[in-house]
Structure 1
Amino acid sequence: MLNDQTIQELLPLYARGEVSEQQGREVDEWICRSTANRKMAEQYFRLEQLYSLAEASEKADTDNALHAIHSRMRQTRTRNALGWLKLAAAILSIPLLISTIWLSSEIRKQDSLPPVQIKSTVGMTTSTTLPDGTKVWLNSNSTLSYPIRFGSTREVTLDGEAYFDVAKDNGRKFIVSTGNMQVEVTGTEFDVEAYSDRGPEVRTTLVSGSVLLHCINAEGRIRTVQMSPGEQFCYNSETFKLSRRNIDGPGVTAWKDGKTILENTSLEDALRAIGNRFNIEFLVRNQALLSNRYTGTFSGQTLDVVLEHFKRTTKIHFDTDLKGADPDNISGRQVIIVY
């Protein structure tokens, strides 16, 4: 039985009819499970249909051109060589013009189509491959939007957290927009965390390569910072502050492999990682606890098991009683009090 992540990776191949019979049956069953699954599959079918139409049109235009030339040759065999060249050029130009007009029309249609939107459900991660070959992993409760076809730049919009393995394309920049900040790259691996319903902070962690951060400073001007591997920048869109720190180990990006890795990690960062994974809001009553450090790895455990581990190894307690927890919480996520 294939898991959700594997099936989603098979969707582009499924749309092209390039999966085995067994894989096809499992994808069919997955599509029928929910409306969200069906809509995701429809997006891949729509993309494949557009690409197939363009290829079919190009082939049809070529066949028509050859047929027209052969027909004319049979009718006017007495024309001289120069005349044939002029005639052939004229006949060829007609289907080529039609092809150009048709393809231009299709491009305009594609540009006017709504963007493709990939969503990951609560408690699940999703992976996909963009039209340019860039691989993307979405963390729990995240949304990625991108056009059916990229133009002179490759720009995507993120709400949530995603890990990007960007395909190299020296002629086109790859840009991740979060609403409050832009990350610009040409070919690299990095993580962006930008949940719109979890406050004004956007965190960017660079794994390899080089990226440029574009954000607005307190004077209203655009500030650009170049990152190096192993760095994490945190930008607050309300205070306009940009902070930097070094990140060691795979903890920040372990979520894409279904793990939560804590390596001498502060409670603040540990709760952030757990909250992102399970779509939970933690409210810490005792702020002194935030500096406590923890080490451990969680893979596949439920939220209850993870919290029980903290209870047994530390003096931390958790309470799901929401009375007076957070009157400003409008995200709809479960709130857990930490004390």
Structure 2
Amino acid sequence: MEKVIPWKLITAHLKDETTPEDEILFQHWLNDENNSDLFAEIELLWNEVQAEASAYNPDVDYYWNAMQERMHTKRSKVKFTIREKLLAITAAASIILMIGISYLFLDKSSDETHLYSAINGKSKITLPDSSIVWINSGSTISYPGAFASNRSVDLAGEAAFNVTKDQKHPFIVSVSGIKVRVYGTYFNISSYDNDENITVALKEGSVSILVNDSESFLKPGEVATINKRDMSLAIDRGNMNLEFFWANESVYFKAKPLGYICEYLEKWYNVHIEVDPEIAKSQFYTFTIKDDSLDQILRIMSKINPITYTFDGKDKVKIMKVKP
């Protein structure tokens, strides 16, 4: 059976950057004897990496550009033993420590693992069983080169799945400490590192969610929200158009109010947008989004109607009415 290794948690723990909630999840994983042995090996090499990197003066721009080019490749196949990969990390110590690239290692029991990362855009891939996956920006998905008795996939971030039906081989997505079991369906999962909740939205078919050994089923049109802090689960009816909106190649808005559009812009760009209530329903827009950045879209909108906007970091935007 394929083992799920929480590499983001491990990296955060080694860098002393875990939240209290992350540390609980890490310690839970570490309780397994096999996991503790694996972590001891990784920790030993991590310390060697730090010692070696402290005396190394790399060309960071060169390595960053090379890494960006590799991560944007649609098909990135990796085939290493765990030792080979750890040695590769040693060679790239400066990249890990200086520009914060997160590496995904391979399970000792897996001969080949496919890794796909959407860094600055979105990707669409086909799995070995012909299932289709749309991967949102800033997300990573990994799976074995050939599915066994279970079709197991690991996700970090957000992805929409259109899963091929196969009752003999369950499709299971592992994300942020929970498992989503699929029965041939179209669904979306979102769980970025900075999100307080995991959300699972079901458009077609059937899925179950396994949280703390308790299984709950979703019906089409429902959205499950799992709190990462206490793993509590709530199921409600949801807006499927909004939940799956980000996976479109382009979107056309026709005479839609600002508040309505901003709900969709939040999903498209994975940001939080605060809109001045005074203009949320009184300003209307018609335009198309495709490959434009959020700043480009907001600039266009500010020329259509008198608005101003400010960015607070990378994931928060405030839109206000222009004062006379």
The TM-score normalised by the length of structure 1 is 0.54
Q: Give 2:216's aligned amino acid.
A: V
Q: How does 1:120-131 map to 2 (within 5 A)?
A: 120-122=118-120, 124-131=121-128
Answer yes or no: is 1:333 the counterpart of 2:298. no
Which of 225, 229, 232 aligns to 1:241? It is 232
Q: 1:289 to 1:236 in 2, by over 3 A?
A: farther
Quote the Cα distance in structure 1 between the aligned partners of 2:242 and 2:268. Answer: 13
Quote the Cα distance in structure 2 between the aligned partners of 1:162 and 1:266. Answer: 26
Q: 1:112 to 1:223 in 2, by over 3 A?
A: closer
Q: Give 1:202's aligned amino acid.
A: I
Quote the Cα distance in structure 2 between the aligned partners of 1:244 and 1:291. Answer: 28
Deviations 1:205-227 (A, max 9, x none): 111111111224xxxxx332211
Which of 178, 202, 208 aligns to 1:206? It is 202
Who is 2:309 aligned against?
A: 318
Who is 1:34 aligned against?
A: 69
Q: Give 1:141's aligned amino acid.
A: G
Deviations 1:1-48 (A, max 9, x none): xxxxxxxxxxxxxxxxxxxxxxxxxxxxxx9x923345x54519x7xx
Answer yes or no: is 1:306 the counterpart of 2:302. no
Could you tell me how far 1:204 is from its partner in structure 2? Answer: 1.1
Which of 181, 186, 189 aligns to 2:183? It is 186
Q: Secondary structure at the match of 1:149?
A: coil
Who is 1:113 aligned against?
A: 111
Larger radius of gyration: 1
- Contact preservation (8 Å) 2:285, 2:304: no
The TM-score normalised by the length of structure 2 is 0.57
Q: Secondary structure at the match of 2:77?
A: helix
Who is 1:168 aligned against?
A: 165
Q: 1:289 to 1:149 in 2, by over 3 A?
A: farther
Quote the Cα distance in structure 2 between the aligned partners of 1:134 and 1:265. Answer: 36
Q: Give 1:242's aligned amino acid.
A: L
Who is 2:154 aligned against?
A: 157
CA RMSD, Structure 1 to Structure 2 (Å): 3.9
- Contact preservation (8 Å) 2:70, 2:76: no
Could you tell me how far 1:271 is from its partner in structure 2? Answer: 4.9
Q: 1:283 to 1:191 in 2, by over 3 A?
A: closer
Quote the Cα distance in structure 2 between the aligned partners of 1:241 and 1:308. Answer: 40
Who is 1:68 aligned against?
A: none
Quote the Cα distance in structure 1 between the aligned partners of 2:76 and 2:217. Answer: 38
Quote the Cα distance in structure 2 between the aligned partners of 1:232 and 1:291. Answer: 26
How many residues in Structure 1 have an aligned counterpart in Structure 2?
226
Q: How does 1:91-106 map to 2 (within 5 A)?
A: none
Who is 1:215 aligned against?
A: 211
Quote the Cα distance in structure 1 between the aligned partners of 2:240 and 2:267. Answer: 19
Could you tell me how far 1:295 is from its partner in structure 2? Answer: 8.4
- Contact preservation (8 Å) 2:224, 2:233: yes
- Contact preservation (8 Å) 1:298, 1:306: no
Deviations 1:150-198 (A, max 9, x none): 22111111111111111111111111111232211121111111112x2
- Structure 2: runs of 5 or more not aligned: 1-65, 80-106
- Structure 1: runs of 5 or more not aligned: 1-30, 47-108, 217-221, 323-331
Q: How does 1:260-279 map to 2 (within 5 A)?
A: 260=251, 267=259, 271=262, 273-278=264-269
Identity level (%): 23
- Contact preservation (8 Å) 2:258, 2:281: yes
Which of 187, 192, 195 aligns to 1:195? It is 192
Quote the Cα distance in structure 1 between the aligned partners of 2:279 and 2:143. Answer: 37
- Contact preservation (8 Å) 1:118, 1:145: yes
- Contact preservation (8 Å) 1:282, 1:336: yes
Answer yes or no: is 1:282 the counterpart of 2:316. no
